[in-house]
Structure 1
Amino acid sequence: MELRSDQIKRGVARAPHRSLLKADGITDEEMDRPFIAVLGSRNDIIPGHTNLDKIAEAVKAGIYMAGGVPFEISTIGVCDGIAMNHEGMHYSLVSREVIADSVECAVMGHAFDGLVCIPNCDKIVPGMILGALRANVPTVFVSGGPMLPGTGPDGEGSTDLNTLFDGAGKVAAGTMTEEELAYFEDTACPTCGSCSGMFTANSMNCLCEALGIALPGNGTVPAVYSERIRLAKRAGMKVIELLRDNVRIKDILNAAAVHNAMECDMAFGGSTNTVLHLTAIAAAAGCPITMADWDAASARTPHLVKLAPSGPRPLIDLYRVGGVPAVMGELGRMGLLDESALTCMGPLPEYLAACCPPADGEVCRTGENPYSGVGALKVLYGNLAPDGSVVKKAAVDPSMLRHTGPARVFDSEEAACAAIGAGAIVPGDVVVIRYEGPAGGPGMREMLSPTSAICGMGLSTSVALITDGRFSGATKGPAVGHVSPEAAAGGPIALICEGDSITVDIEGGALTLNVSDEELARRRAAWEPPAPKHDAGVLAKYAKLVTSADKGAIIL
């Protein structure tokens, strides 16, 4: 078998390269084996990543058992929960591109034959996918796994990180004491792993299964279960199998895979961030998708699984009934999957037959009894979002599926949070947070703090929020993000004035500023673009190069 790594280990001219490899401890016998990058993002700050050293060791064992030579390398990560609601959040989405670049550099620079990626949280998963697509070698993903949920003080119910964000709002509203909040602070995140709801990290790890680049269980086997270690060993063995069959990541991650991932996303109600990330991934894979494609997926796909934050169930409940394969099996039964897709387990029809249990009917409902006949995410257009916006419809109270109210306009997340905390937002309002888009932020900050404050203060059934920024996967309520074009690009969201009437029609798919075209034209003529917020560093570069949210906020 001809190997890419032969570029660094064959022939007289490669004696210096072999000498350096022998300095790593590589033997002459190992020189004949495939070289596999084991690319992780283990660190001490992200709780979803503190266990990745154990996952990496298991992956390396699997690679070695299957006849390869593993080389562990690392990249960065940013914890969105810790970065939330301060300047650190400007760097979260930016880190996706830094991670993609680092994966490409490490794999291509060392002529690796294959790649196993070990992400877990937030932007690390899509960042690694983007980098792996550029390298286009045989690739398997295996995450660090989700955190176990916490429990309430009476031992009933499940808790997670979102309990704390909502709790802070309840303390501000006087409906929870600081002592009660302290209990949740100590118990809501009880283990390592990605936060235990269907938030961004777990959404993306589940979608890796739907894309065909991860083994069954990748998104749902808990981080602390021994099954996770066995899964990692199998991932190491699987990448050698793909290499021998000459199956590269772009052979798997193509238009059919993206279609199937969109179907699963709508069925299990993933984070709105998945719209951003899958759009970017599809572009990198050479099969671009648009907001119209997302709208069509929502219209045709039933909502089958309702996990936190859309409902009370923690992610482990889906694990107990078969995980993502149960969802894929039901979608396949309904004829909603593209069965021309190839997975790392083989052709999709074989995968569905061998790996997918029937829907249990309760955690994963059947197509005959869905939570909703349409998908959990909804795209909204209108004169406020000509290029689209997105909301997690499944997490919105039915009373707020259509809402009209006066605009409360803020040019930053900080200003909005100050007003919410001061009690300046009242029932009926539509909170507008702008200049927080990909370029305007820069970095398109997640805004779990303002949405959680609104929920915690009991306003989620009377106040809507729209932004050109984005939301944490933990966000619930009528929060519309990714408004495109963004304010910094002169999008209509920049033209809203305090008190303007805005209609958020989630059922109708419309986001409307109830102002005449003539008045909007007058305001546009008077609008001036803001000065850049940064003139140096990674944020300045990002702001100059990033595209709009409807394009996936990719770097061109």
Structure 2
Amino acid sequence: MEKKLRSQQWFGKKGKDGFIYRAWMKNQGIPADEFQGKPVIGICNTWSELTPCNAHFKELAESVKRGVIEAGGFPVEFPVMSLGETLIKPTAMLYRNLVSMDVEESIRANPIDGVVLMCGCDKTTPALVMGACSVDIPAIVVSGGAMLTGKFQGKNIGTSDIWRFSESVRSGIMSEEELNLAEAGMCRSRGHCAVMGTASSMACMVEALGLSLPGNAAIPAADASRKVLAQFSGRRIVDMVREDLKPSDILVRKAFENAIKVNAAIGGSTNFVIHLLAIAGRVGIPLNIDDFDRFSAGIPLIANLQPSGAHFMEDLYYAGGLPAVMKEMQSLLNAECITVNGRSIGQNLERAQTLNQEVIASVESPFKLDSGVAVLKGNLCPHGAIIKPSAANPRLMQHTGKAVVFENIEDYKLRIDDPELEVDPDSVLVLKNTGPKGYPGMPEVGNMGLPKKMLDLGVTDMVRISDGRMSGTGFGTVVLHVSPETAENGTIALVKNGDMIELDVVGRKLNLLVPDDELERRRIALADPVNQFKRGYARLYVEHVEQAHLGADFDFLKGNSGSEVLRDSH
């Protein structure tokens, strides 16, 4: 027996209630037969001119609508708050949970049987997936795609080069005029970052989880195939409604294991950790920070993409896309996991092949042996911290040095180029108060620029530690997500200038080499954390956000509560 459509609890009603629901929709020129048992497909669109990565979504949504109509569905497009990483202050991460609530309540409160999630820029993907999972109706993801590779002085460039350009200007190697020329050539087309930054890592995450059609992750935004995939996705969501194939059917424990392994193989963003943990929390899957180390272990880097490698997302598409990467590592995956097209991972990979071995290597002959995320534990991070070995300097993976402490990002900006700063190449830069509560929102400032006096000496990398995040386009020996954070009076709050810090990535350790009795004296002297925000969303955020090792979601949003319809008001 076919399951009754959720939307019919609105449009299938008789009398006054049904009259109101249908009549006002008809003012858009919708024929009466659209309301007679067709699956209603919501198109959740994060289009915004303030989100440049998603600025082409109006056009892309039309392709989705065509597919929905072809399959016998009734498409309805609706907006939610859009998060543009490049513009939003203080950080888009502050609003990820808010957008997830926007998505959840927009779906729950409206006559929607299935939903297409249109996301591109970094936080839009996890936010939309988190929200849809919390309602648990059929859902499929359509990513916006990466922009075409940038060009500057005859070379390919991408977002990761911003960090290199910045250091070159500060050290006098590059002029401001050259920087302006690079800026003009960086973003040549619609789409999100051209490298394996957070946006592309999120697109790969949803494809590895099985939430998008195969090939979704790598098609460039400017390529006509992106529209074709959107149209196919529109067709498929209608069938998913008829089959009642929901996120909870797809997002099983083994699917999360697959995503972790794939993220390791592609050199994906460290932000992947915090977002996957949050998604798992929404669907009630027991996933913890140690799982990222466990399932990354033994997975080499096989996608040669910036910032861990040399190439760009456009190159990945031409080389076979994410299906080719997953085909190379299929023996390491849970190939039986079901995906949105109703087929298993293994079935989807039957025809996948690598077309360029300079971009996609094999497990047997990878680009790098070190990949994935290493999870560190120790007295400096009792609940964990993370580092991305594929983007770090091998020389610094086991290192002990004196701390140079910055109390917050303003202190860092004030003193980092001070000629009197007491720092040497072996120093460890420590940035406090950039965690979920301390900033708030956990900004991408963890890959601090090096002190100018070190750049002048030719130093290109130093150990950097913070309770914040870094951009997926960033690189270096950067320890992130230290938990508990400074604002929770974690051990990082106790670090003083000159303290010795030991980093041992091989041994998975991060320790502050200060006697326990001294640390206890410092801890007693700390003031109790105070929420500086007295109203609005920021107050709610600080009061309810969990620590980084739990995914930085709100404590009251864990677990989904199904797609129950709210009470009638008519």
TM-score, length basis structure 1: 0.94
1:220/1:456 CA distance change after superposition, 3 Å:
farther
Give me the whole-angstrom Cα distance separating, in 1, the residues matched to 2:205 and 2:474.
19
Local SS of the residue matching 2:353: coil
Matched, 1:43 2:45: no
User: Where in structure 2 are the equivalents of 1:487-502 lying within 5 Å?
Assistant: 487-502=486-501
Q: CA deviation at 1:503?
A: 1.6
Q: Is the 8 A contact 2:71 2:235 kept in 1?
A: yes
1:513/1:531 CA distance change after superposition, 3 Å:
same
User: Where in structure 2 are the equivalents of 1:489-528 lying within 5 Å?
Assistant: 489-528=488-527
Give me the whole-angstrom Cα distance separating, in 2, the residues matched to 1:340 and 1:457.
54
Counterpart position of 1:366? 362
Q: CA deviation at 1:447?
A: 1.1
Query: Which deviations, in whole Å up to 9, do the C-alpha atoms of 1:286-334 show, x marking residues without a partner?
Result: 11211111110122322212311112211212111111111111221xx
Counterpart position of 1:163? 161
1:457/1:64 CA distance change after superposition, 3 Å:
farther
Q: CA deviation at 1:459?
A: 6.7
Counterpart position of 1:224? 222
Counterpart position of 2:408? 412
Counterpart position of 2:6? 4
Query: Which deviations, in whole Å up to 9, do the C-alpha atoms of 1:127-153 show, x marking residues without a partner?
Result: 000001012111110011101111221
Q: CA deviation at 1:26?
A: 2.2
Counterpart position of 1:76? 81
Local SS of the residue matching 1:148: coil
Q: CA deviation at 1:406?
A: 1.0
1:310/1:552 CA distance change after superposition, 3 Å:
same
Q: Which stretch shows the higher mean deviation, 7-16 or 341-350?
A: 341-350
Matched, 1:348 2:344: yes
Query: Which deviations, in whole Å up to 9, do the C-alpha atoms of 1:364-422 show, x marking residues without a partner?
Result: 22111123445332111111111111111101122121222111111212221332233
Q: CA deviation at 1:58?
A: 0.5
Give me the whole-angstrom Cα distance separating, in 2, the residues matched to 1:355 and 1:527.
60
Query: Which deviations, in whole Å up to 9, do the C-alpha atoms of 1:200-251 show, x marking residues without a partner?
Result: 0110011111010111221110011111111110110010121121111211
User: Where in structure 2 are the equivalents of 1:448-467 lying within 5 Å?
Assistant: 450-451=448-449, 461-467=460-466
Counterpart position of 1:28? 32
Counterpart position of 1:128? 128
Q: Which among 203, 206, 225 is matched to residue 205 of structure 1?
A: 203
Q: Which stretch shows the higher mean deviation, 411-420 or 537-546?
A: 411-420
Q: Which stretch shows the higher mean deviation, 17-26 or 454-463?
A: 454-463
Q: CA deviation at 1:460?
A: 6.2
Counterpart position of 2:59? 54
Q: Is the 8 A contact 1:417 1:449 kept in 2?
A: no
1:387/1:448 CA distance change after superposition, 3 Å:
closer
Q: Which stretch shows the higher mean deviation, 486-495 or 545-554?
A: 486-495
Local SS of the residue matching 2:465: strand
Q: CA deviation at 1:349?
A: 4.8
Q: Is the 8 A contact 1:359 1:365 kept in 2?
A: no
The code of the aligned residue for 2:98 comes to V
Paired residues, what number? 547
User: Where in structure 2 are the equivalents of 1:59-458 lying within 5 Å?
Assistant: 59-83=64-88, 88-90=89-91, 92-153=92-153, 155-156=154-155, 158-332=156-330, 335-358=331-354, 360-423=356-419, 424=421, 425-447=423-445, 450-451=448-449
Q: Is the 8 A contact 1:212 1:252 kept in 2?
A: yes
Unaligned runs of 5+ in 2: 556-570
Give me the whole-angstrom Cα distance separating, in 2, the residues matched to 1:472 and 1:533.
26
State the Cα RMSD in Å.
1.9
The code of the aligned residue for 1:421 comes to D
Query: Which deviations, in whole Å up to 9, do the C-alpha atoms of 1:74-114 show, x marking residues without a partner?
Result: 1122222334xxxx134x11221111111111111113000
Counterpart position of 2:21? 17
Q: Is the 8 A contact 2:444 2:468 kept in 1?
A: yes
Matched, 1:546 2:539: no
Local SS of the residue matching 2:54: coil
Unaligned runs of 5+ in 1: none
Query: Which deviations, in whole Å up to 9, do the C-alpha atoms of 1:427-483 show, x marking residues without a partner?
Result: 222111111111111111111672488897787644211001111111100111100
Local SS of the residue matching 1:265: helix
1:161/1:301 CA distance change after superposition, 3 Å:
closer
1:327/1:359 CA distance change after superposition, 3 Å:
farther
Q: Is the 8 A contact 2:397 2:505 kept in 1?
A: yes
Give me the whole-angstrom Cα distance separating, in 2, the residues matched to 1:458 and 1:107.
56
The code of the aligned residue for 1:391 comes to I
Give me the whole-angstrom Cα distance separating, in 2, the residues matched to 1:250 and 1:279.
15
Q: Is the 8 A contact 1:165 1:448 kept in 2?
A: no
The code of the aligned residue for 2:276 comes to L
Local SS of the residue matching 2:52: coil
Query: Which deviations, in whole Å up to 9, do the C-alpha atoms of 1:467-505 show, x marking residues without a partner?
Result: 011111111001111001111111110111111011222
Q: CA deviation at 1:340?
A: 3.1
Q: CA deviation at 1:197?
A: 0.6
TM-score, length basis structure 2: 0.92
Local SS of the residue matching 2:415: helix
Q: Is the 8 A contact 2:195 2:313 kept in 1?
A: yes
Q: Is the 8 A contact 2:288 2:549 kept in 1?
A: yes
Identity %: 35
Q: CA deviation at 1:28?
A: 1.5
The code of the aligned residue for 2:131 comes to G
The code of the aligned residue for 1:25 comes to G
Q: Is the 8 A contact 1:138 1:243 kept in 2?
A: yes
Local SS of the residue matching 1:61: helix
Q: Is the 8 A contact 2:304 2:358 kept in 1?
A: no
1:329/1:359 CA distance change after superposition, 3 Å:
farther
Local SS of the residue matching 1:161: coil
The code of the aligned residue for 2:319 comes to V
Q: Is the 8 A contact 1:117 1:141 kept in 2?
A: yes
Q: Is the 8 A contact 1:304 1:370 kept in 2?
A: yes
Q: Is the 8 A contact 2:336 2:346 kept in 1?
A: no
Local SS of the residue matching 2:269: coil
Q: Is the 8 A contact 1:166 1:456 kept in 2?
A: no
Q: Which stretch shows the higher mean deviation, 122-131 or 420-429?
A: 420-429
Q: Is the 8 A contact 1:170 1:453 kept in 2?
A: no
Local SS of the residue matching 1:381: strand
The code of the aligned residue for 1:401 comes to M
Local SS of the residue matching 1:39: strand
Local SS of the residue matching 2:148: coil
